[in-house]
Amino acid sequence: MGLAPLFLVFLKLGCVVLGSGYVLVAFLQADLVERLHWLTPAQLLDAVAVGQLTPGPVFTAATFVGFLLRGPAGAAVATVAVFLPAFVGVWASGPLLGYLRSDRRARAFLDGVNAASLALMVHVSLLLGHAALVDAPSVLLFFAALVLLVAGRTNGSWVVLGAALVGGLRAGFG
């Protein structure tokens, strides 16, 4: 696999996930794991985890995947490709913002897109859960993190950092 196919895959992903980074995970699963077999589910989960530890969490996963597949050049190509549609979209949509906010049909359209996006995120979360929840400690950590997040008193970044530390301690390198 060369850099051109990598660019095209991430350009397509960048085009279909404008404004909703978490939907990217569903498309990464469908394209890179299921259709192209470039990654395993565990590698995709690692990419999402790495993304959670960096700014721009989910789109950073694209950089990580590019690096996994083609090294530094792949990381650069995947990053440019996934972000390019967003930059073009923001530039081109400026004149439409007033219309989208005021038109009843446009709001209804966006509500439908949001509902479908949420369904995609739930679906891929269930798929990735099989790769992430592999033993009793990982299940316990999942529920502890969920309680902290649902209670609304803990910033998600702290939950991810804490879970990374617990995982590191569990592996013996803490």
Reduced to 3 states (helix: H, G, I; strand: E, B; else coil), residue 155 is: coil
pLDDT tens string 59-113 = 788 888 999 999 999 999 999 998 898 888 878 887 887 787 788 998 898 888 8
Q: What is the pLDDT of residue 57?
A: 64
Q: CA 1, 16, 68: angle at the middle one, nearest 5?
A: 30
* The residue type at 112: G
Q: What is the pLDDT of residue 66?
A: 94
Q: What is the pLDDT of residue 173?
A: 66
Rg (CA), the chain: 18
Q: Enumerate long-range contacts of 42-47, CB under 8 Å, 24 or more apart.
A: 42/131, 43/68, 44/128, 44/131, 45/128, 45/131, 45/132
pLDDT tens string 99-114 = 877 889 988 988 888 8
pLDDT tens string 13-59 = 888 876 556 777 888 888 999 999 999 988 888 888 887 777 666 67
- 5 has pLDDT over 60: yes
Specify the length of the chain in residues. 174
Q: What is the pLDDT of residue 20?
A: 58
- 111's enclosing H/E stretch is helix 104-132
Q: Which residue has the higher pLDDT, 54 or 131?
A: 131
Instruction: Tell how many helices (H) and how many strands (E) occur in the chain.
Output: 8, 0
Q: What is the pLDDT of residue 81?
A: 93
C-beta of residue 60 within 8 angstroms of C-beta of residue 50: yes
Q: Which residue has the higher pLDDT, 129 or 59?
A: 129
* The residue type at 7: F
Count CA atoms closer than 13 A to 150's CA, side-chain side: 6
- 114's enclosing H/E stretch is helix 104-132
Handedness of CA 152, 153, 156, 162 (dihedral sign): negative
